[in-house]
Structure 1
């Protein structure tokens, strides 16, 4: 009869396969997993070769992406009858060792809602299409807020003036980006349009996921076609007042970024189950002089880690992922 440790080793590849469907900035997929055969331990590492020195110099977005992968791993584990118990930043001497996960046989009493999210793991994709102006019901937004709280973070639905201020910051970030050759070059590095010399097709943002060009004013979705290499893209008018929400943490340390990442993915998965199209607006958070301005000074918002755009509209296209063999080491 196989031991618990043997069963863990057998299921680890399938858990990692679902974990890596998580979103990450520019789809850089900044994670690696390591499992020692015959144990119940699975470690999640940040990959220093997949950093974004211009857009993410402090590795905040890297931690958020890895936190999102951790949430997916917990969901997959729960679905398969396991409980994934994470320890964040377990080794002070190794800042790239982000999480140690111990897999335990689950009695079904711990956070049963995790397994319910599993159908959304494969369906969740970032949508860079216009959304309809149909308002989202308050009970759906309340449910998304509850999902965030389960991960120890807060989801703030901004009032009218705050929402307008956030969108002004998005437009400011677009101007900053257009004036930064280094930022634009980094984005080009992670886009895939069929040009010669591009990186592997298993990473980055493909032209199939660009969405339409904005017709008129600036779009709430980032335009990855920096070099205008996709001339056949249609133009479309995006919603004038996107329905946004801000995910916030009380502190702003690597542990908080990992919690934020878990909250980001839990909110996105719940929104997907609720029938919403989703995208993330990170542009103003990539510039230190803009990020602090995203906070509502009249409330205890904390530190803004992500801005969501929710609505009803086309689902986004799937983006590629590296194989499990490329991201998982079993030793």
Structure 2
């Protein structure tokens, strides 16, 4: 039997869960439109939230929207609804990323529904993690989660981890020579009262985490040289647990699949008691992104570097009100 019609409250609840997804600098580059006549929820990219210097091809934007799409699928499964997802359904409309049918027949995905409690718990952690490896069984489960979404998760060995850390340092040094690139970062960092009013997006100063005074974890200091009163300093792990998420190809649909795989991995990691963080700094440079993959692996294109570990959970980041991102028709 077809699922019953969705009312305003039910659609709002699904979109609220979707918007808890991570996105580059918490820009939240998504828009949703509910078509009540067809029972379809459309996911669109918001062109006003692009980053022309850091993400000129909109790859990271697609990753964030893919993560929101996965949360939507999880919330629908938890509500007992099957979903019919179509990626990039209209080549003539590049900002239309996916459509999700919510009133069809079929069984909801119970495995997805089990991830629902992790949605409000998953937050990016910019704190130190313990010097403790990820158990093999957890690694295997996370890799399988990525595979289910058409992506691949690789736990690099020591030499590869060293190379990835070198890439981050390279990106940091290049930033000092190209300060214009930092305009995209500063747009989304909310330090002090310069923006006025409570933050609805971006990275507020309470979510910056401590300033790094030691350790080798690739933690981006979004405050830069700006002083944040009362901000603590901490020593981070010297052997971070880095993980590569990648896809076989590198097209628009692959980015959306990677975003869904990313969120599936993050939610499962959260349920496994891991703190999670995303490390995209070096991937913003095309040459460094190319170097990120292990040439001896089958990984085609690296889409994200994750930092996982046992430590302080992330801080809740602000979210735009649902009414700002959802149109009803």
What TM-score results when the alignment is normalised by the length of structure 1? 0.95
Encode CA deviations 1:20-63: one digit per residue, 9 max, x unaligned: 00000010000000012232100000000000111101000000
Provide the rounded CA distance (Å) in 2 between the counterparts of 1:223 and 1:237.
14
Aligned-partner SS, 1:87 = strand
Shift of residue 231, structure 1, vs aligned partner: 3.5
Query: Structure 1 residues 307 and 106, CA, compared in 2 at 3 Å: closer, same or farther?
Result: farther
Q: CA RMSD for the aligned pairs?
A: 1.6
Which position in structure 1 is the counterpart of 2:50? 51
Provide the rounded CA distance (Å) in 2 between the counterparts of 1:66 and 1:210.
23
Which position in structure 1 is the counterpart of 2:17? 18
Which position in structure 1 is the counterpart of 2:122? 124
Shift of residue 69, structure 1, vs aligned partner: 0.1
Which position in structure 1 is the counterpart of 2:296? 298
Provide the rounded CA distance (Å) in 1 between the counterparts of 2:254 and 2:63.
9
CA contact (8 A) 1:6 1:38 kept: no
Aligned-partner SS, 2:120 = helix
Map 1:1-331 onto structure 2 (within 5 A): 4=3, 6-7=5-6, 10-104=9-103, 107-108=106-107, 111-197=109-195, 201-216=199-214, 219-331=217-329
Deviates further, 258-267 or 172-181: 172-181
CA contact (8 A) 1:9 1:40 kept: no
Provide the rounded CA distance (Å) in 2 between the counterparts of 1:231 and 1:165.
34
Provide the rounded CA distance (Å) in 1 between the counterparts of 2:130 and 2:216.
17
Provide the rounded CA distance (Å) in 2 between the counterparts of 1:95 and 1:8.
29
CA contact (8 A) 2:270 2:276 kept: yes
Provide the rounded CA distance (Å) in 2 between the counterparts of 1:257 and 1:83.
23
Aligned-partner SS, 2:43 = strand
Aligned-partner SS, 2:112 = helix
CA contact (8 A) 1:192 1:199 kept: no
Provide the rounded CA distance (Å) in 2 between the counterparts of 1:119 and 1:194.
33
Shift of residue 5, structure 1, vs aligned partner: 6.2
Aligned-partner SS, 1:124 = coil
Aligned-partner SS, 1:43 = strand
Provide the rounded CA distance (Å) in 1 between the counterparts of 2:274 and 2:215.
24
Provide the rounded CA distance (Å) in 1 between the counterparts of 2:198 and 2:104.
38
Shift of residue 170, structure 1, vs aligned partner: 1.1
Provide the rounded CA distance (Å) in 2 between the counterparts of 1:74 and 1:179.
42
Shift of residue 203, structure 1, vs aligned partner: 0.6
CA contact (8 A) 2:84 2:104 kept: no
Provide the rounded CA distance (Å) in 2 between the counterparts of 1:10 and 1:230.
40
Provide the rounded CA distance (Å) in 2 between the counterparts of 1:209 and 1:172.
25
Provide the rounded CA distance (Å) in 1 between the counterparts of 2:70 and 2:210.
30
Deviates further, 193-202 or 261-270: 193-202
Query: Structure 1 residues 240 and 166, CA, compared in 2 at 3 Å: closer, same or farther?
Result: same
Shift of residue 12, structure 1, vs aligned partner: 1.1
Provide the rounded CA distance (Å) in 1 between the counterparts of 2:3 and 2:322.
22
Encode CA deviations 1:261-300: one digit per residue, 9 max, x unaligned: 0000000000000000000100010011211000111122
Provide the rounded CA distance (Å) in 1 between the counterparts of 2:105 and 2:269.
26
Provide the rounded CA distance (Å) in 1 between the counterparts of 2:217 and 2:142.
24
- Give ranges in structure 2 of 5+ residues lacking alignment: none
